[in-house]
């Protein structure tokens, strides 16, 4: 399927998300290999089917340690380390809370408060035991569940980038639904890739503006992608691990620009928890990250843009740096 002259777009639905691969040579066989690779990765990390590597760990919770492959161990090790950072909004053991709320799935409801507090007792990342020598993972309490939904797409986007590079591709874009990773810049557009920043809750494809990046990943986490409305509130899928409820602050979305999509995915969640003021201060100390916050009071707040350019399109929102 070609979208523009000289651009070859290939799409699929994997991981419950629309996937788009853009190439500049017609190469359906390469596209098939990319989708196959994503499928293999999904089979390792999904918690939506019983037979993944992550589900093997979850099913053995409270009973025994499970030996996993090196890439699975490594991603869990990273997710665990991020979860143990001081005041972290990221928690790899958020699984029981995610499963109970079912946001984005059939049967979503606001659970009773007592149930949420009972489930929170199963979300202590200190109760994950990692043994690097044995490459094993053990969840100490029965009912605990690892959920890598906030990090796995980022990791997989980097796996695809590495695969394309290995195949000799120098210009490509992969979009895993919220996680964009790029190679080089498009031909005839040396300034880079154009990546749209969606208008929150817009019913069409309206954009707040367009980011321009080269050889960077752009990851967005927003409350408007998976949510439901009940009691005049928006219940979305980014949970506050301290309360078991959707994170409730001034934000509608966080976009991170970084080399690795893995970092983008990790930091969208961490910065979501930090909010605008603390988040901007944090990113100022990190030469490798840029961030765009979109707030409930209609502001687009950018860190000093080192790795991207932003062209505003919707001027009813206030842009500030």
List residues near Mg ion by CB under 5 A.
150, 153, 265, 268-269
* Beta strand pairing call for 318-320 and 299-302: parallel
Site for ligand FAD in 24-43 (CB under 6 A): 42
125 binds ligand FAD (CB under 6 A): no
Question: Least separation, in Å, of the C-beta of 34 and ligand FAD?
Answer: 15
91 binds ligand FAD (CB under 6 A): yes
Question: Least separation, in Å, of the C-beta of 151 and Mg ion?
Answer: 6
226 binds ligand FAD (CB under 6 A): yes
149 binds ligand FAD (CB under 6 A): yes
Closer to Mg ion by CB, 94 or 172: give it: 94
Closer to Mg ion by CB, 158 or 265: give it: 265
Number of continuous H segments (helices) and E segments (strands) in the chain: 7, 17
Site for ligand FAD in 157-196 (CB under 6 A): 178-179
Q: 213 exposed, middle or buried (CB, 10 Å; 0-12, 13-18, 19+)?
A: buried
Closest CA to 83 of 239, 198, 207: 239
40 to 79: interface string for ligand FAD, x by CB under 6 A = --x--xx-x-------------------------------
The pair of three-digit structure tokens given for residue 260, joined into one six-digit string = 């690795």
Name which of Mg ion, ligand FAD, none residue 239 binds, using a CB cut-off of 5 to 8 Å depending on partner kind. Answer: ligand FAD
* Span from 66-74, 90-98, 132-140, 296-304 in contact with ligand FAD (CB under 6 A): 90-98
The pair of three-digit structure tokens given for residue 125, joined into one six-digit string = 């990342």
What span, in angstroms and rounded, lies between the C-alpha atoms of 125 and 107? Answer: 27
Q: Which residues lie across from 256 on neighbouring strands?
A: 219, 291
Q: What is the DSSP letter of 3?
A: S
Q: Are 57 and 68 within 8 A, CB to CB?
A: yes
Closer to Mg ion by CB, 153 or 198: give it: 153
Name which of ligand FAD, Mg ion, none residue 158 binds, using a CB cut-off of 5 to 8 Å depending on partner kind. Answer: none
What span, in angstroms and rounded, lies between the C-alpha atoms of 9 and 30? Answer: 12
* Span from 129-137, 265-273, 301-309, 310-318 in contact with ligand FAD (CB under 6 A): 265-273
Residues in the chain: 321
Question: Least separation, in Å, of the C-beta of 267 and Mg ion?
Answer: 8
Question: Least separation, in Å, of the C-beta of 17 and ligand FAD?
Answer: 6
Q: What angle do CA 253, 313, 224 make, to 5 degrees?
A: 25
For 125, the 3-state DSSP assignment is helix
Q: How crowded is residue 46: how many other Cβ atoms within 10 Å of its Cβ?
A: 19
The residues that touch ligand FAD, with contacts defined as CB under 6 A, are 15-17, 42, 45-46, 48, 89-91, 94, 98, 104, 147, 149-150, 152-153, 178-179, 221, 225-226, 237-239, 241, 265, 268-269
């Amino acid at each position: 399927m070609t979208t523009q002259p000289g651009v070859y777009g290939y799409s699929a639905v994997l991981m419950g998300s629309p996937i788009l691969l853009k190439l500049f040579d017609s190469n359906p066989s390469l596209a098939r290999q990319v989708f196959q690779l994503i499928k293999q990765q999904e089979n390792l990390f999904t918690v939506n089917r019983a037979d993944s590597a992550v589900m093997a760990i979850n099913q053995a919770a409270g009973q025994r340690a499970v030996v996993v492959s090196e890439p699975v161990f490594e991603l869990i090790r990273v997710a665990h380390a991020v979860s143990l950072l001081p005041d972290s909004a990221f928690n790899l053991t958020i699984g029981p809370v995610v499963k109970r709320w079912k946001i984005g799935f059939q049967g979503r409801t606001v659970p009773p408060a007592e149930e949420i507090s009972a489930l929170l007792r199963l979300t202590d990342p200190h109760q994950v035991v990692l043994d690097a020598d044995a490459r094993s993972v053990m969840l100490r309490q029965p009912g605990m569940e690892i959920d890598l939904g906030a990090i796995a797409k980022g990791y997989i986007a980097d796996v695809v980038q590495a695969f394309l590079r290995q195949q000799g591709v120098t210009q490509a874009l992969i979009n895993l639904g919220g996680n964009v990773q790029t190679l080089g810049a498009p031909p005839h557009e040396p300034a880079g890739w154009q990546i749209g920043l969606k208008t929150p809750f817009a019913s069409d494809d309206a954009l707040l503006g367009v980011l321009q990046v080269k050889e960077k990943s752009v990851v967005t986490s927003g409350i408007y992608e998976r949510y439901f409305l009940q009691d005049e509130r928006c219940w979305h899928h980014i949970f506050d691990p301290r309360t078991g409820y959707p994170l409730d602050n001034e934000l509608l979305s966080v976009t991170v620009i970084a080399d690795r999509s893995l970092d983008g995915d990790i930091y969208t969640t961490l910065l979501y928890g930090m909010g605008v003021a603390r988040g901007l201060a944090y990113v100022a100390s990190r030469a490798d990250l840029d961030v765009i916050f979109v707030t409930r009071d209609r502001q687009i707040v950018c860190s000093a843009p080192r790795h991207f350019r932003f062209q505003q399109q919707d001027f009813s929102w206030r842009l500030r740096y």
